Copies of this chain bind each other. A is one copy, B any other.
Amino acid sequence: MAPRRGGDGGNAGGELPKRLKTDGAILQTIKDFAEATARAGIRGEKRSLSDLALEESCREVAELGSGEVKEEIEKLVLSVTKSILQGQGLAYTVPSRTSANQLYVEELDRIVLKDKTSIRPFASSSTVKKTAITTRILELVHQLCSKQIHVTKRDLFYTDVKLFTEQAQSDTVLDDVSCMLGCTRTSLNVVASEKGVVVGRLVFVEDGDRIDCTKMGVGGKAIPPNIDKIQDMESDALFILLVEKDAAFMRLAEDRFYNRFPCVIVTAKGQPDVATRLFLRKMKMELRLPVLGLVDSDPYGLKILSVYMSGSKNMSYDSASLTTPDIKWLGVRPSDLDKYRIPQQCRLPMSELDVKTGRDLLEEDFIKKDPRWYQELELMVKNKEKAEIQALSSFGFQYLSEVYLPMKLQERDWI
Protein backbone atom coordinates (compact mmCIF):
# COMPACT_ATOMS: atom_id res chain seq x y z
CA MET A 1 0.00 0.00 0.00
CA ALA A 2 1.69 3.23 -1.12
CA PRO A 3 1.36 6.02 1.42
CA ARG A 4 -0.61 9.04 0.25
CA ARG A 5 0.72 12.54 0.46
CA GLY A 6 -0.29 14.62 3.44
CA GLY A 7 -3.23 12.55 4.52
CA ASP A 8 -5.66 13.70 7.13
CA GLY A 9 -3.20 13.17 9.95
CA GLY A 10 -5.68 10.99 11.72
CA ASN A 11 -8.14 12.65 14.04
CA ALA A 12 -6.36 15.90 14.64
CA GLY A 13 -3.01 17.53 13.94
CA GLY A 14 -4.41 20.98 13.30
CA GLU A 15 -3.25 23.19 10.48
CA LEU A 16 0.01 21.41 9.74
CA PRO A 17 -1.16 18.93 7.10
CA LYS A 18 -2.50 21.81 5.00
CA ARG A 19 0.85 23.56 5.05
CA LEU A 20 2.61 20.59 3.48
CA LYS A 21 3.95 21.33 -0.01
CA THR A 22 4.07 18.79 -2.82
CA ASP A 23 6.47 15.87 -2.46
CA GLY A 24 8.44 17.29 -5.40
CA ALA A 25 9.07 20.55 -3.56
CA ILE A 26 10.10 18.72 -0.39
CA LEU A 27 12.37 16.42 -2.41
CA GLN A 28 14.16 19.44 -3.89
CA THR A 29 14.83 20.72 -0.36
CA ILE A 30 16.41 17.43 0.68
CA LYS A 31 18.38 17.17 -2.57
CA ASP A 32 20.03 20.53 -1.95
CA PHE A 33 20.87 19.45 1.57
CA ALA A 34 22.24 16.08 0.48
CA GLU A 35 24.46 17.72 -2.13
CA ALA A 36 25.79 20.25 0.37
CA THR A 37 26.56 17.41 2.79
CA ALA A 38 28.40 15.43 0.13
CA ARG A 39 30.50 18.50 -0.78
CA ALA A 40 31.29 19.20 2.86
CA GLY A 41 32.19 15.57 3.28
CA ILE A 42 34.76 15.80 0.52
CA ARG A 43 36.29 18.91 2.05
CA GLY A 44 36.31 17.59 5.59
CA GLU A 45 37.14 14.03 4.80
CA LYS A 46 40.85 14.16 5.46
CA ARG A 47 40.43 15.24 9.03
CA SER A 48 42.11 12.67 11.16
CA LEU A 49 44.25 12.84 14.24
CA SER A 50 47.46 13.17 12.22
CA ASP A 51 46.19 16.28 10.38
CA LEU A 52 45.61 18.16 13.60
CA ALA A 53 48.52 19.83 15.32
CA LEU A 54 47.46 18.70 18.77
CA GLU A 55 49.66 19.54 21.70
CA GLU A 56 49.19 16.12 23.16
CA SER A 57 50.10 13.07 21.21
CA CYS A 58 47.21 10.71 20.73
CA ARG A 59 46.67 7.12 19.82
CA GLU A 60 44.16 5.69 17.45
CA VAL A 61 43.47 2.29 16.08
CA ALA A 62 42.69 1.34 12.51
CA GLU A 63 40.57 -1.27 10.80
CA LEU A 64 43.03 -4.02 9.81
CA GLY A 65 42.50 -7.13 7.71
CA SER A 66 42.94 -10.60 9.20
CA GLY A 67 46.35 -10.96 7.51
CA GLU A 68 47.60 -7.66 8.94
CA VAL A 69 46.42 -8.54 12.44
CA LYS A 70 48.25 -11.87 12.24
CA GLU A 71 51.39 -10.04 11.14
CA GLU A 72 51.14 -7.57 14.02
CA ILE A 73 50.74 -10.42 16.51
CA GLU A 74 53.71 -12.25 15.03
CA LYS A 75 55.86 -9.11 15.22
CA LEU A 76 54.84 -8.59 18.83
CA VAL A 77 55.56 -12.21 19.77
CA LEU A 78 58.96 -12.04 18.06
CA SER A 79 59.86 -8.93 20.01
CA VAL A 80 58.92 -10.44 23.39
CA THR A 81 60.75 -13.66 22.48
CA LYS A 82 63.83 -11.57 21.79
CA SER A 83 63.43 -9.84 25.12
CA ILE A 84 63.23 -13.22 26.88
CA LEU A 85 66.31 -14.54 25.02
CA GLN A 86 68.20 -11.41 26.01
CA GLY A 87 67.45 -12.19 29.64
CA GLN A 88 65.04 -9.27 30.03
CA GLY A 89 62.00 -11.46 30.52
CA LEU A 90 58.46 -11.33 29.16
CA ALA A 91 56.64 -8.00 29.31
CA TYR A 92 54.00 -6.15 27.22
CA THR A 93 53.69 -2.42 26.75
CA VAL A 94 49.98 -1.69 27.17
CA PRO A 95 48.31 1.65 26.34
CA SER A 96 46.39 3.11 29.27
CA ARG A 97 42.63 3.30 28.74
CA THR A 98 41.66 5.19 31.91
CA SER A 99 39.68 8.43 31.68
CA ALA A 100 42.80 10.40 32.65
CA ASN A 101 44.24 9.22 29.36
CA GLN A 102 41.15 10.25 27.31
CA LEU A 103 40.70 13.45 25.36
CA TYR A 104 37.72 15.00 23.58
CA VAL A 105 39.00 16.47 20.32
CA GLU A 106 36.67 19.21 19.21
CA GLU A 107 37.92 19.29 15.63
CA LEU A 108 37.10 15.61 15.25
CA ASP A 109 34.10 15.78 17.55
CA ARG A 110 35.01 12.59 19.34
CA ILE A 111 36.91 11.15 22.26
CA VAL A 112 40.41 9.78 21.59
CA LEU A 113 43.10 8.16 23.69
CA LYS A 114 46.28 9.93 24.75
CA ASP A 115 49.54 8.04 24.53
CA LYS A 116 50.29 7.03 28.11
CA THR A 117 51.31 3.38 28.40
CA SER A 118 52.24 0.99 31.17
CA ILE A 119 54.52 -2.03 31.32
CA ARG A 120 52.96 -5.42 32.09
CA PRO A 121 55.79 -7.74 33.19
CA PHE A 122 55.35 -11.49 33.74
CA ALA A 123 57.87 -11.41 36.58
CA SER A 124 55.68 -9.47 38.99
CA SER A 125 53.10 -10.97 41.28
CA SER A 126 50.64 -8.16 40.54
CA THR A 127 50.70 -8.60 36.76
CA VAL A 128 51.73 -12.20 36.20
CA LYS A 129 48.17 -13.37 35.61
CA LYS A 130 47.25 -10.49 33.33
CA THR A 131 50.39 -11.12 31.32
CA ALA A 132 49.46 -14.77 30.93
CA ILE A 133 45.93 -13.79 29.87
CA THR A 134 47.32 -11.30 27.36
CA THR A 135 49.49 -14.02 25.83
CA ARG A 136 46.54 -16.41 25.61
CA ILE A 137 44.27 -13.80 24.02
CA LEU A 138 46.96 -13.02 21.46
CA GLU A 139 47.12 -16.72 20.63
CA LEU A 140 43.33 -17.06 20.32
CA VAL A 141 43.02 -13.97 18.14
CA HIS A 142 45.78 -15.30 15.91
CA GLN A 143 43.76 -18.48 15.57
CA LEU A 144 40.56 -16.56 14.71
CA CYS A 145 42.37 -14.54 12.06
CA SER A 146 43.94 -17.68 10.57
CA LYS A 147 40.57 -19.43 10.35
CA GLN A 148 38.84 -16.20 9.32
CA ILE A 149 35.92 -16.82 11.65
CA HIS A 150 34.17 -14.48 14.09
CA VAL A 151 33.19 -15.16 17.68
CA THR A 152 31.63 -13.24 20.54
CA LYS A 153 33.40 -12.10 23.71
CA ARG A 154 31.48 -14.81 25.53
CA ASP A 155 32.84 -17.52 23.20
CA LEU A 156 36.33 -16.21 23.77
CA PHE A 157 35.89 -16.38 27.54
CA TYR A 158 34.73 -20.00 27.38
CA THR A 159 37.81 -21.19 25.50
CA ASP A 160 39.84 -20.91 28.69
CA VAL A 161 37.70 -20.39 31.74
CA LYS A 162 40.40 -21.83 33.96
CA LEU A 163 42.79 -19.02 33.09
CA PHE A 164 40.32 -16.15 32.63
CA THR A 165 38.22 -17.04 35.71
CA GLU A 166 35.64 -14.41 34.78
CA GLN A 167 34.56 -12.76 31.56
CA ALA A 168 35.49 -9.25 32.71
CA GLN A 169 39.14 -10.39 32.64
CA SER A 170 39.16 -11.60 29.05
CA ASP A 171 37.06 -8.61 27.94
CA THR A 172 39.46 -6.09 29.44
CA VAL A 173 42.52 -7.75 27.99
CA LEU A 174 40.81 -7.96 24.62
CA ASP A 175 40.48 -4.17 24.59
CA ASP A 176 44.12 -3.93 25.68
CA VAL A 177 45.15 -6.14 22.79
CA SER A 178 43.23 -3.92 20.34
CA CYS A 179 45.19 -0.92 21.57
CA MET A 180 48.51 -2.79 21.59
CA LEU A 181 48.08 -3.98 18.02
CA GLY A 182 46.66 -0.65 16.92
CA CYS A 183 43.52 -2.13 15.43
CA THR A 184 39.80 -2.09 16.16
CA ARG A 185 38.20 -4.84 18.19
CA THR A 186 36.29 -5.88 15.10
CA SER A 187 39.61 -6.46 13.34
CA LEU A 188 40.37 -9.05 16.01
CA ASN A 189 37.34 -10.98 14.71
CA VAL A 190 35.62 -10.65 18.07
CA VAL A 191 32.18 -9.15 17.55
CA ALA A 192 29.24 -7.97 19.57
CA SER A 193 25.81 -9.46 19.16
CA GLU A 194 23.58 -7.86 16.59
CA LYS A 195 20.51 -5.83 17.36
CA GLY A 196 20.09 -3.37 14.52
CA VAL A 197 17.89 -3.52 11.44
CA VAL A 198 17.97 -1.58 8.20
CA VAL A 199 15.46 -0.97 5.43
CA GLY A 200 15.25 1.39 2.47
CA ARG A 201 17.24 2.54 -0.53
CA LEU A 202 20.42 0.61 0.04
CA VAL A 203 22.02 -2.32 -1.74
CA PHE A 204 25.12 -4.09 -0.44
CA VAL A 205 26.96 -7.40 -0.60
CA GLU A 206 27.12 -9.39 2.64
CA ASP A 207 29.42 -12.41 2.69
CA GLY A 208 28.82 -12.81 -1.05
CA ASP A 209 25.03 -12.35 -0.93
CA ARG A 210 23.52 -9.31 -2.62
CA ILE A 211 21.12 -7.61 -0.22
CA ASP A 212 18.54 -5.17 -1.57
CA CYS A 213 17.07 -3.31 1.41
CA THR A 214 14.07 -2.07 -0.60
CA LYS A 215 12.99 -5.70 -0.87
CA MET A 216 13.17 -6.65 2.81
CA GLY A 217 9.44 -6.55 3.49
CA VAL A 218 8.42 -4.66 6.59
CA GLY A 219 10.77 -6.41 9.01
CA GLY A 220 13.96 -5.20 7.36
CA LYS A 221 17.41 -6.77 7.19
CA ALA A 222 19.28 -7.64 10.37
CA ILE A 223 22.61 -5.78 10.54
CA PRO A 224 25.38 -8.38 10.76
CA PRO A 225 27.78 -8.44 13.72
CA ASN A 226 30.84 -8.51 11.46
CA ILE A 227 31.05 -5.32 9.43
CA ASP A 228 33.97 -6.59 7.36
CA LYS A 229 31.59 -8.96 5.59
CA ILE A 230 29.80 -5.95 4.11
CA GLN A 231 30.96 -4.60 0.77
CA ASP A 232 29.92 -2.60 -2.26
CA MET A 233 27.33 -0.32 -0.69
CA GLU A 234 25.20 1.46 -3.28
CA SER A 235 22.31 3.81 -2.78
CA ASP A 236 20.16 6.44 -4.46
CA ALA A 237 18.99 7.72 -1.07
CA LEU A 238 19.16 11.41 -0.19
CA PHE A 239 19.59 10.88 3.55
CA ILE A 240 19.88 8.35 6.32
CA LEU A 241 17.14 8.35 8.93
CA LEU A 242 18.49 7.11 12.24
CA VAL A 243 15.62 6.04 14.48
CA GLU A 244 15.90 5.35 18.21
CA LYS A 245 13.12 2.84 18.48
CA ASP A 246 11.59 -0.17 16.95
CA ALA A 247 8.02 1.14 16.84
CA ALA A 248 8.91 4.18 14.71
CA PHE A 249 11.05 1.98 12.46
CA MET A 250 8.09 -0.34 11.99
CA ARG A 251 5.73 2.51 11.11
CA LEU A 252 8.14 3.90 8.50
CA ALA A 253 8.92 0.46 7.07
CA GLU A 254 5.27 -0.48 6.75
CA ASP A 255 4.42 2.86 5.12
CA ARG A 256 7.47 2.37 2.86
CA PHE A 257 8.45 5.92 3.70
CA TYR A 258 11.72 5.42 1.80
CA ASN A 259 9.86 5.14 -1.49
CA ARG A 260 8.24 8.54 -0.99
CA PHE A 261 11.41 10.26 0.24
CA PRO A 262 14.44 8.22 -0.85
CA CYS A 263 16.30 7.32 2.33
CA VAL A 264 17.83 4.50 4.33
CA ILE A 265 16.17 3.82 7.69
CA VAL A 266 18.22 2.26 10.45
CA THR A 267 17.65 1.51 14.14
CA ALA A 268 19.55 -0.23 16.94
CA LYS A 269 16.31 -0.62 18.95
CA GLY A 270 17.47 1.49 21.87
CA GLN A 271 21.06 1.69 23.05
CA PRO A 272 23.36 1.68 20.01
CA ASP A 273 25.32 -1.56 19.73
CA VAL A 274 28.75 -1.74 18.14
CA ALA A 275 27.50 -3.45 14.96
CA THR A 276 24.92 -0.73 14.23
CA ARG A 277 27.44 2.04 14.97
CA LEU A 278 29.95 0.51 12.58
CA PHE A 279 27.25 0.07 9.96
CA LEU A 280 26.02 3.66 10.26
CA ARG A 281 29.54 5.03 9.97
CA LYS A 282 30.28 2.88 6.95
CA MET A 283 27.11 4.08 5.23
CA LYS A 284 27.82 7.70 6.02
CA MET A 285 31.41 7.46 4.79
CA GLU A 286 30.82 5.45 1.65
CA LEU A 287 27.59 7.07 0.53
CA ARG A 288 28.36 10.60 1.81
CA LEU A 289 24.79 11.06 2.95
CA PRO A 290 23.49 13.34 5.69
CA VAL A 291 22.23 11.55 8.80
CA LEU A 292 19.04 12.75 10.50
CA GLY A 293 18.34 11.52 14.02
CA LEU A 294 14.83 10.77 15.29
CA VAL A 295 14.88 10.10 19.03
CA ASP A 296 12.66 10.57 22.08
CA SER A 297 12.62 14.05 23.54
CA ASP A 298 14.37 13.10 26.77
CA PRO A 299 17.96 13.02 28.05
CA TYR A 300 18.38 9.39 26.96
CA GLY A 301 17.45 10.21 23.37
CA LEU A 302 20.25 12.77 23.37
CA LYS A 303 22.65 10.33 24.98
CA ILE A 304 21.91 7.84 22.23
CA LEU A 305 22.68 10.47 19.59
CA SER A 306 25.92 11.27 21.40
CA VAL A 307 27.04 7.63 21.44
CA TYR A 308 26.55 7.50 17.67
CA MET A 309 28.40 10.77 17.22
CA SER A 310 31.16 10.93 19.81
CA GLY A 311 31.44 7.35 20.97
CA SER A 312 31.35 5.84 24.39
CA LYS A 313 34.15 6.54 26.81
CA ASN A 314 34.86 2.88 27.30
CA MET A 315 35.90 2.38 23.70
CA SER A 316 37.52 5.74 23.04
CA TYR A 317 40.58 4.11 21.50
CA ASP A 318 38.34 2.98 18.68
CA SER A 319 36.36 6.21 18.23
CA ALA A 320 37.43 6.64 14.60
CA SER A 321 35.63 3.60 13.25
CA LEU A 322 32.71 3.68 15.66
CA THR A 323 31.56 7.29 15.42
CA THR A 324 29.53 9.07 12.79
CA PRO A 325 30.25 12.77 12.78
CA ASP A 326 27.67 15.44 12.08
CA ILE A 327 24.38 13.74 12.88
CA LYS A 328 21.56 16.27 12.68
CA TRP A 329 19.02 16.32 15.48
CA LEU A 330 15.77 16.15 13.54
CA GLY A 331 13.39 15.43 16.40
CA VAL A 332 11.54 14.92 18.60
CA ARG A 333 13.08 18.10 20.08
CA PRO A 334 11.83 19.79 23.22
CA SER A 335 10.69 22.77 21.16
CA ASP A 336 8.61 20.42 18.99
CA LEU A 337 6.28 19.72 21.87
CA ASP A 338 4.72 23.17 21.61
CA LYS A 339 5.38 23.64 17.90
CA TYR A 340 3.51 20.46 17.01
CA ARG A 341 1.02 20.99 19.84
CA ILE A 342 1.65 17.62 21.49
CA PRO A 343 -1.28 17.31 23.91
CA GLN A 344 -0.46 17.78 27.55
CA GLN A 345 -1.48 14.20 28.40
CA CYS A 346 1.08 12.79 25.99
CA ARG A 347 3.95 14.63 27.64
CA LEU A 348 5.50 12.93 30.61
CA PRO A 349 6.88 14.68 33.67
CA MET A 350 10.65 14.19 34.03
CA SER A 351 11.78 12.38 37.16
CA GLU A 352 14.45 13.90 39.37
CA LEU A 353 16.97 11.52 37.83
CA ASP A 354 15.88 12.60 34.33
CA VAL A 355 16.41 16.25 35.24
CA LYS A 356 19.80 15.50 36.77
CA THR A 357 20.85 13.53 33.68
CA GLY A 358 19.72 16.46 31.54
CA ARG A 359 21.68 18.97 33.65
CA ASP A 360 24.79 16.77 33.43
CA LEU A 361 24.43 16.65 29.66
CA LEU A 362 24.47 20.47 29.55
CA GLU A 363 28.11 20.20 30.65
CA GLU A 364 29.04 17.77 27.88
CA ASP A 365 31.19 18.99 25.01
CA PHE A 366 28.91 17.69 22.27
CA ILE A 367 26.04 19.78 23.62
CA LYS A 368 28.04 22.92 24.43
CA LYS A 369 29.59 23.20 21.00
CA ASP A 370 26.22 23.93 19.34
CA PRO A 371 24.16 26.71 20.93
CA ARG A 372 20.98 25.38 19.29
CA TRP A 373 21.43 21.96 20.92
CA TYR A 374 22.22 23.69 24.19
CA GLN A 375 19.05 25.79 24.00
CA GLU A 376 16.88 22.78 23.28
CA LEU A 377 18.27 20.83 26.20
CA GLU A 378 17.93 23.89 28.45
CA LEU A 379 14.27 24.10 27.46
CA MET A 380 13.76 20.43 28.34
CA VAL A 381 15.38 20.81 31.75
CA LYS A 382 13.43 24.01 32.40
CA ASN A 383 10.02 22.61 31.46
CA LYS A 384 10.79 19.23 33.02
CA GLU A 385 8.77 17.60 30.28
CA LYS A 386 9.70 14.71 28.06
CA ALA A 387 7.94 12.95 25.19
CA GLU A 388 8.39 9.77 23.21
CA ILE A 389 8.36 9.59 19.42
CA GLN A 390 5.10 7.68 19.77
CA ALA A 391 3.46 10.71 21.36
CA LEU A 392 2.92 11.82 17.76
CA SER A 393 0.38 8.99 17.46
CA SER A 394 -2.03 11.20 19.35
CA PHE A 395 -2.76 12.84 15.98
CA GLY A 396 -3.32 9.54 14.22
CA PHE A 397 -1.26 6.46 13.69
CA GLN A 398 0.42 7.68 10.51
CA TYR A 399 1.03 11.25 11.61
CA LEU A 400 4.75 10.47 11.96
CA SER A 401 5.21 9.32 8.38
CA GLU A 402 2.57 11.47 6.70
CA VAL A 403 2.85 14.82 8.42
CA TYR A 404 5.60 15.20 11.00
CA LEU A 405 8.57 13.93 8.98
CA PRO A 406 7.56 15.50 5.63
CA MET A 407 7.06 18.83 7.43
CA LYS A 408 10.45 18.52 9.13
CA LEU A 409 12.10 17.86 5.77
CA GLN A 410 10.17 20.64 4.02
CA GLU A 411 11.27 23.17 6.60
CA ARG A 412 14.81 21.83 6.93
CA ASP A 413 13.94 21.67 10.58
CA TRP A 414 17.05 19.95 11.93
CA ILE A 415 19.94 21.31 13.96
Q: Which residues of A contact B (CB under 8 A)?
A: 1, 10-11, 143-144, 147-152, 154-162, 191, 193-195, 197, 206-211, 215-226, 229-230, 246-247, 250-251, 254-255, 269, 343, 345-346, 388, 390-394, 396-398
Q: Are B193 and A219 in contact (CB under 8 A)?
A: no
Cβ-closest chain B residue relative to A396 = B159
Q: Are A269 and B144 in contact (CB under 8 A)?
A: no
- A394 / chain B contacts, CB cutoff of 8 Å: 158-161
CA distance A337 to B397 in the complex (A): 51
A-B complex: 8 closest residue pairs judged by Cβ atoms: A206-B217, A219-B224, A161-B345, A193-B246, A158-B393, A209-B215, A219-B222, A152-B247
Supposing A194-B246, A247-B152, A251-B155 touch, asked if A220 and B222 sit within 8 A by C-beta, the answer is yes
Interface SS, A side: mixed
- Copies of this chain per assembly: 2
Supposing A162-B343, A343-B161 touch, asked if A218 and B211 sit within 8 A by C-beta, the answer is no
Q: Are A149 and B250 in contact (CB under 8 A)?
A: no
- A220 / chain B contacts, CB cutoff of 8 Å: 222, 224
Write the nearest CB–CB distance from A158 to chain B, whole angstroms.
4
Q: Are A224 and B229 in contact (CB under 8 A)?
A: no
Write the nearest CB–CB distance from A295 to chain B, whole angstroms.
15
- A211 / chain B contacts, CB cutoff of 8 Å: 215-217
